[in-house]
Amino acid sequence: MAEKQKKRLMQGNEACVEGALYAGCKFYAGYPITPSTEIAEGMSVRLPKIGGKFIQMEDEIGGIAAAIGGSLAGLKSLTATSGPGFSLKQECLGYACLAEIPLVIVNVMRGGPSTGYPTGPSQADIMQAKWGTHGDHPAIAVTPAYVQEILTETVRAFNLAEKYRTPVIVLYDEIVGHMREPITIPAPGELAVVDREKVTCKPDEYFPYDERFEIPPLAPFGTGYRFHVTGLNHKKDGFPTNDSKQIGEGNMRIMRKIDNHLDEIWKNEEIGLEDAEIAVVAIGSTARSARYAVNEARSMGIKAGLLRPLTLWPFPDKAVTELSKRVKAIIVPEMNLGQMVLEVQRCSKKAEVLGVHRVDGEPINPGQIIEAIKSFK
């Protein structure tokens, strides 16, 4: 074990593989796509060695569908993709939300729309991660910015997926996915790993969507609990219903199970916000630029700070609202034409909100953010 904790240089996507395995992932199904392919490659080498299952499917849809199948059979399951592949996975993502099937989906964001700029970074899937699939549904997305953090946030994504019985998205940009940094792999036990709640009742008393539970436990297929799963609105026994009361209640429950636990799901990093007059809200590689910019601004005597959501969805409403009451301005740099800034505007009660945007495949550099900070001085 001592050897495992040695520092090593690792790529973001490789750290994602390490995180998934640390969390107990035993099933991967996916389709090759730049810039996320290293995750599939890594899982194809590692899973067979531990008796896990890896399959390269015929397309992106097959990838997520097979991963849902693997999860229903009781294995912690992962699929990974980018850009166009994330679009293709949306229907199945909604299925996993409604059927309440734990699953982790990694989306390494590349330039878009369409085929766009496959080897270039973007953060233009922020809204798609929340609203990409049709219908109202719960959404959890975690947004690491450092290679070490990709590992720990992938573990957290599995934990959230298993605990809340819902798909969780690990969302990071190409820069973070492809950069290499020294990291250490945590020893077993160092990070919490949440396993799916076991079903203990008798089979004839089991209901996969039992409304007496906030999050009903999910029995794996083939373990004596013969039940039905459908993507139709359903009753507590999993069978389709046309009853408006049952439809409404089912739709509300899958939202409520997340909304009632926001404080547990939210996670932010705050830098220099105690006395900040100007705040930056940023995720992923842009947050790294922002951190650099905030430090530079401080050295120029400007009281700047950074709020970095590690849980992007559900959006950290409370933190942003509180921040907006304390600061003069909030700057939202993001590699898109204005997505997260809309959420910050929604939550902001007083502060002025300014977006800094870029969609040319180049990162937002610290200089751009410093300029924005200085514009409020």
Partner 1 sequence: MSKRYELRFSGSGGQGMILAGIIMAEAAAIYGDKNAVQSQSYGPESRGGASKAEVIISSQPIDYPKATAIDCMLAMTQEACTKYHGDVKDGGILLIDTDEVKDVPKGKFKVIGFPITAAANSELGKTIVANIISLGLITELTGVVTHEAIEAAVLSRVPPAFLELNKKALQLGFDSAKALK
Partner 2 sequence: MSVPAEKKEKISVPFDYNKYLRPGKLPHIWCPGCGHGIVLKAMLRAIDKLGIDKDNVCVVSGIGCSSRTPGYVDFNTLHTLHGRALSFATGIKLARPDMKVIVVTGDGDALAIGGNHFIHTCRRNIDITALVFTNAIYGMTGGQYSPTTPLESIATTSRYGNIEPPFDTCEMAKAAGATFVARGTAYHTLELEKTIYEALMHKGTSVVDIIDACPTYFGRMNKYKSATHMMEAMEKDGTVSVKQVDKLPPEKVAGKMLRGVLHKIDRPEYCEQYALLVQEKAQAKSK
Residues in contact with partner 2 by CB under 8 A are: 27, 29, 48-49, 51, 53, 55, 57-59, 61-63, 65-75, 77, 91-92, 95, 221-224, 226-232, 239-240
What's the rounded Cα separation, in Å, for the pair 214 and 304? 41
351 binds, among partner 2, partner 1, none (CB under 5 to 8 A by kind): none
Among partner 1, partner 2, none, residue 65 binds (CB under 5-8 Å by kind): partner 2
> CB-wise, 251 or 365, nearer to partner 1?
365
Q: Which helix (H) or strand (E) holds 161?
A: helix 147-164
Decide if 345 contacts 317 (C-beta within 8 A): no
Q: 221 or 266, CB closer to partner 2?
A: 221
**Interactions with partner 1, residue window 293-332 (CB under 8 A):** 295
| Angle subtended by helix axes 317-326 and 340-347, to nearest 10 | 60
Q: Which is nearer to partner 2, 70 or 316 (CB)?
A: 70
Amino acid at 226: R
H or E element at residue 109? strand 103-111
Q: Which is nearer to partner 2, 165 or 291 (CB)?
A: 165
- The reply to whether 270 sits near partner 1 by the rule CB under 8 A is no
Residues 97 to 136 in contact with partner 1, rule: CB under 8 A: 118-120
Of 48, 113, 135, 180, which one interacts with partner 1 (CB under 8 A)? 180
Candidates 197, 292, 326, 328; binder of partner 1 (CB under 8 A) is 292
55, 73, 179, 255: which one contacts partner 1 (CB under 8 A)? 179
* Whether the Cβ atoms of residue 10 and residue 183 lie closer than 8 Å to each other: yes
Choice between 286 and 324, CB closer to partner 1: 286
Burial, 50: exposed, middle or buried (Cβ in 10 Å; 0-12, 13-18, 19+)? exposed
Query: What contacts 242, CB < 8 A, 6 or more positions away?
Result: none
Longest CA pairwise span in the chain (Å): 69
List the one residue from 48, 113, 135, 367 that touches partner 1 (CB under 8 A): 367
User: 251 or 295: whose CB is closer to partner 1?
Assistant: 295
Return the number of other C-beta atoms located less than 10 Å from residue 362's C-beta.
12
